[in-house]
Chains A and B, each alone.
Chain A
Amino acid sequence: MNRLRLIIFREWYTRVRRRAFILGTLLVPILMAILVGFGVWMERAQMEENKVLVADLSGLISYWDEAREAWVPACPDCFPERSHLEYRFAEEALSDDDFLASDYTLMVLFDDGILQHQTAKYFYDKSPALSTESAVENDLSSAIERFKVKEELALNYEAYKRLKTNVRLVGEDVVTKDGNATGRTLIGFIFSFFMFIQIMVYGMHVMRGVIEEKANRIVEVVISVVKPIELMAGKIIGIGLVGVTQVLALTLLGYIVFQVGGISLEASGLLTAASNEGLELDFETWIASNDSLGFLLDVNWPLMIFASLIYFVAGFFMYASLFAAIGSAVDQESDAQYLMIPAMLPLLASYIVAAMALENPEGQVAVIGSYIPLTAPILMLIRLPLGVEWWELTGSIIGVVVTAYVLVRLSARIFRTGILMHGKKVTFRELGRWLRHD
């Protein structure tokens, strides 16, 4: 046991102290934060600069205000005051030179035929951001809509707004009484995707570790002290723990970035700016008030985390033992390619099914896949947030654990023979012989 602990520690420690691991782990959340921050900053920077001149040749959405001695919108509500977008109106367009000499960033031409062709041409010095273009489009559409309602239909706009109805579908599971299946499926997919990446990346680490140990010719010394199965188990557990360490580090860093980012966003006033009503919001209230994030409260997080841990441990043992056996059978990584195919197939298939299950998580393929031990670690996780029967979950976990145990035993048979073989191209038939050899 003590020797197994030593091997586990060596495998774990020599990897987590590598510069590449530390940088990779630290940089991911920091880079994400930087990217998000940069995006917000860019958005803000671009929004602040926009001053739009609406050349209303049609006269449909603006009129001359004697008191203010300026062209003003017929519907001021349609052009709300925003820090990033300012409108001015005119009855004529500026010449190109005048436009370039002015402080306008955009000039929209509203000609007489606007009601017919519903197209307004705009001119710019620097191409506007998509969000700016979209905001101007919305504002002008709403102004035209207001004009049509009032002038063509002779309706009161407030009455019109009351008549206008958008039906929103809200689902509810008749058994669990939970709603918003799409959001919860997305959570399941994120867990599945992460499971796929972790098993794949760290499974490959196990294979490379075995090949390296074999190529270094150190393995003979090691297995003269420990049993091959101890070496294999130590390697799998040690490298698996590297994956767990990375997840924990990312979670912690993610939490810190989330908190620090929230405080920064609050302090910057961006959240207030992002609020439609111009309310002063703190970060948590902003998240809570966001319709698209509300489903987070419906997910059974303790069950998700517990099941993910079990599926990761068993699933990782299952695949990593296969990768270890493959690594032991070859002298270099390039020789492992064709042996990898059968081991990778169920993993890749389960990822593809998981991606398809985003559309229909309760589909037959996803359900059957969540019962098959080799695909269950990924496919059960996508179903889990939507609620599965206890017997499905228990049966699937037992299946995965038993399969992992069997595969570890079988892989150990290949490992103990392969690890001492050099210079021999191994075939599937040869692997079969090693399996039978006691």
Chain B
Amino acid sequence: MRDLPALNIADIEKSFGAQCALDGVGFQVPQRGVFGLLGPNGAGKTTLLRMLNGITAPDRGSISFFGEPISREHLKSIGYLPEERGLYKSMRVGEQAMYFAQLRGMNKTDARSKLRHWFERLEVDGWWNKEVSEVSKGMAQKIQFILSVLHEPRLLILDEPLSGFDPINAQRVRDVIADLKAQGNTTILLSTHDMGSVEEMCDEVALLNHGKLVLHGAVPELREAARDGRVEVTFRDTVMEFTVALGASAELIRIEEEATVTGERRALLRLRDGTDQAEWLHWISGQVKLTSCALWQPGMREIFIQAVEHQGTDES
């Protein structure tokens, strides 16, 4: 039997005055794994995340948490790292961590031992007695991340978790997310604009735009479905030689001016309607020094832009 979804978001509507923030949004977040919540600024992501945290309520629709209508009782099982985050400057790091752990319902002993573990893992253990005002931004980010995972939530909501980190610390946090995913006890809802992270970490995504759900599905399937006959080739000629040789046989979408150290350049093409790919490949190989040719698979960045622009065209 299939697991209940971690979240079942059904037909959610929310308006602030005349402004509609969410308009009939509905999708499911499966248990375990990493689910990406994507969308441009002002799409309604933060409003939806606030609903999951009980900060605000929908005007219409419902949200189920592991099969139960979501309520404040479930907040103990949710970890939340908001995009807008901070710490109390007038407190020491350790006492602040203890304060939030206890607010989450943990007892002192449990909180202290788990904090020690996480502080060691993310290398902030020497900062326990420091004032928050003395702590660097990256260090504060790590502490905030720890506070969201400390109570071992069933659902972990991360809003731009990697922003503000240097590459080393960003990788540390990625590793933690990967471990949590591998352990299988936590469902991670990741809201981010970093499409590289989405491709790397997310199993499924939902894309919101202007308060509407415009795309939803598994990442590999979305990428596969977004193929549109474009072809990516690499070659060892100059840009001029390649362009002249290509002639009118294909539409040149993008070409790299700078060659790699091996003297290769990359180009993205769309073949004319009715062109036989095998015949074209045979023909072009005779015209230029082709080193590779493959059907192009769009990344999440292209899928994101295409979906948002497509909705914009539809609405206008």
B55 lies within 8 A of A6 (CB): no
Contact A224 B53, CB 8 Å, known A6-B102, A10-B99, A433-B17: yes
A224 lies within 8 A of B102 (CB): no
Is residue B100 contacting chain A, with contact meaning CB distance below 8 A?
yes
- Residues in B with CB closer than 8 Å to A133 are none
A217 CA to B91 CA, complexed, in Å: 15
Contact A224 B82, CB 8 Å, known A6-B99, A433-B17: yes
- Residues in A with CB closer than 8 Å to B50 are 220, 420
A216 lies within 8 A of B54 (CB): no
- Residues in B with CB closer than 8 Å to A226 are 103
Is residue B282 contacting chain A, with contact meaning CB distance below 8 A?
no
- Residues in B with CB closer than 8 Å to A222 are 103
Number of contacts between A and B (CB, 8 Å)?
59
Which residue of the partner chain A has the closest CB to B151?
A225
8 Å CB contact of B85 from A3, A7, A213, A220: A220
B79 to chain A, nearest CB (A): 9
Is residue B2 contacting chain A, with contact meaning CB distance below 8 A?
no
A50-88 at interface with B (beta carbon < 8 Å):
none
A18 CA to B53 CA, complexed, in Å: 33
8 Å CB contact of A221 from B91, B100, B102: B100
A225 lies within 8 A of B99 (CB): no
A221 lies within 8 A of B85 (CB): yes
Size class of B's contact patch?
Answer: 20 to 34
B100 lies within 8 A of A216 (CB): no
A3-61 at interface with B (beta carbon < 8 Å):
3, 6-7, 10, 14, 18
A223 lies within 8 A of B17 (CB): no
A6 CA to B88 CA, complexed, in Å: 14
8 Å CB contact of A218 from B17, B56, B86, B102: B86
A95 CA to B50 CA, complexed, in Å: 92
Is residue B242 contacting chain A, with contact meaning CB distance below 8 A?
no
Interface centre among B85, B86, B91, B99 (most CB of A within 10 A): B86
Which residue of the partner chain A has the closest CB to B144?
A221
B60-83 at interface with A (beta carbon < 8 Å):
72, 75, 78, 80, 82
Instruction: Give me the 7 closest cross-chain CB pairs, A-B, nearest first.
Output: A216-B86, A224-B53, A217-B86, A217-B84, A218-B86, A220-B82, A224-B80
Interface residues of B, Cβ cutoff 8 Å to A = 17, 50, 53-56, 72, 75, 78, 80, 82, 84-91, 99-100, 102-104, 144, 147
Q: A217-B85, A221-B100, A224-B53 are in contact. List 6 more A-B contacts (CB 8 A).
A: A3-B103, A18-B90, A220-B82, A224-B80, A225-B103, A225-B104
